[in-house]
């Protein structure tokens, strides 16, 4: 489970490294496979990557990987409800649930973010992967649309459906990156200042480290200095990165809630 005994200080969107900063600090390896079709570095200052507890982020909205009841569960879902307090559950009870692929928004209560966007990811169907992919794309798209509609500027996504719902992390990361990149290229997407991908488990970390450079490759280095930071900028960037909290040492797993969540998914 996420660490709750000692609450970490809230982390703002500006404190979370952008892809441009991670490239400059050599914290993100460029894929040997090269960029995918449609890949662009144009949004690298507006994409952030953070490994840790999403409930500590002081952003406009965090995205909860919810179930159709919206009444809490295991993993990230349970962690968000525990950190927000009982008023979140009370508000969720008024929403009438949420279908797979859709999103609904609530207040954040005791969380440091302003709002929580709840989206229901698909239970992965390996016999019909295209159906699962379409539903997962809807999760990211509907969350982004809801954020813009609500006047929110910064949004942080948990890794939707990669837990007990069984979506392969690499495939899920591709869908997430591709959907976000395409949305940022629309007129509505221009309203967002920063989209943050939040990872926790090692399998999701590896997936995003592999896929982000393929969707958001680094900018072409300058001919003079290969786009190096000045010594002062480099030191400042290193200091900023070092101030981020250590990665939690335990997985966001709650076996009892996870089993209930799986059973709910089987009924879909």
pLDDT in tens, 106-141: 999 999 999 999 999 999 999 999 999 999 999 999
In order of start, what are the domains of the chain with their CATH numbers?
11-244 (3.40.220.10)
Query: Per-residue confidence at 268, pLDDT binned at 50, 70, 90?
Result: very low
The reported pLDDT for the residue numbered 111 is: 98
Q: What pLDDT, in 10s, does the model give residues 145-155?
A: 999 999 999 99
Average pLDDT over residues 223-250: 53
By residue count, the chain amounts to: 268
The reported pLDDT for the residue numbered 3 is: 37
Q: Provide the percentage of residues in the chain whose pLDDT is more than 70.
A: 79
Average pLDDT over residues 224-251: 53
Q: What pLDDT, in 10s, does the model give residues 68-85?
A: 999 999 899 999 999 999
Sequence-distant (≥ 6) Cβ neighbours of residue 69 within 8 angstroms: 97, 264
Q: What pLDDT, in 10s, does the model give residues 16-47?
A: 999 999 998 888 888 778 999 999 999 999 99
Statement: residue 255 has pLDDT above 60: no
Average pLDDT over residues 207-220: 93
The reported pLDDT for the residue numbered 31 is: 72
Sequence-distant (≥ 6) Cβ neighbours of residue 24 within 8 angstroms: 227, 228, 229, 234, 237
The reported pLDDT for the residue numbered 33 is: 83
The reported pLDDT for the residue numbered 118 is: 98
What's the rounded Cα separation, in Å, for the pair 168 and 35? 21
> Pick from 189, 218, 160: which is nearest to 39 by CA?
218
Does residue 124 contact residue 131 with C-beta atoms inside 8 Å? Answer: no
Average pLDDT over residues 181-205: 96
Torsion of CA 22, 24, 27, 28, to 10 degrees: 70
Sequence-distant (≥ 6) Cβ neighbours of residue 214 within 8 angstroms: 31, 33, 34, 35, 36, 39, 177
Query: Per-residue confidence at 253, pLDDT binned at 50, 70, 90?
Result: very low
């Amino acid at each position: 489970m996420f660490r709750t005994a000692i609450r970490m200080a809230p982390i703002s969107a500006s404190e979370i490294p952008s892809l441009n900063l991670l490239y400059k600090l050599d914290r993100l390896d460029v894929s040997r496979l090269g960029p995918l079709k449609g890949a662009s570095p144009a949004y690298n200052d507006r994409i952030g990557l953070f490994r840790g507890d999403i409930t500590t982020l002081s952003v406009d909205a965090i995205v909860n990987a919810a179930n159709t009841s919206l009444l809490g569960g295991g993993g990230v879902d349970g962690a968000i409800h525990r950190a927000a307090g009982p008023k979140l559950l009370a508000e969720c009870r008024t929403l009438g649930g949420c279908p797979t692929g859709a999103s609904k928004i609530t207040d954040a209560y005791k969380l440091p973010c302003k709002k929580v966007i709840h989206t229901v990811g698909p239970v992965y169907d390996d016999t019909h992967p295209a159906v699962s992919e379409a539903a997962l794309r809807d999760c990211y798209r509907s969350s982004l649309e809801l954020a813009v509609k609500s006047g929110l500027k910064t949004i942080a996504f948990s890794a939707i459906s990669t837990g007990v719902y069984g979506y392969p992390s690499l495939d899920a990361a591709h869908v997430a990156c591709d959907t976000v990149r395409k949305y940022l290229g629309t007129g509505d997407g221009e309203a967002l200042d920063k989209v943050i991908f939040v990872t926790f488990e090692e399998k999701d970390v590896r997936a995003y480290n592999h896929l982000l450079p393929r969707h958001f490759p680094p900018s072409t280095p300058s001919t003079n200095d290969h786009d190096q930071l000045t010594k002062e900028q480099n030191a400042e960037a290193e200091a900023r990165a070092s101030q981020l909290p250590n990665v939690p040492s335990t997985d966001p797993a709650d076996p009892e809630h996870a089993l209930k969540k799986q059973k709910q998914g089987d009924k879909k």
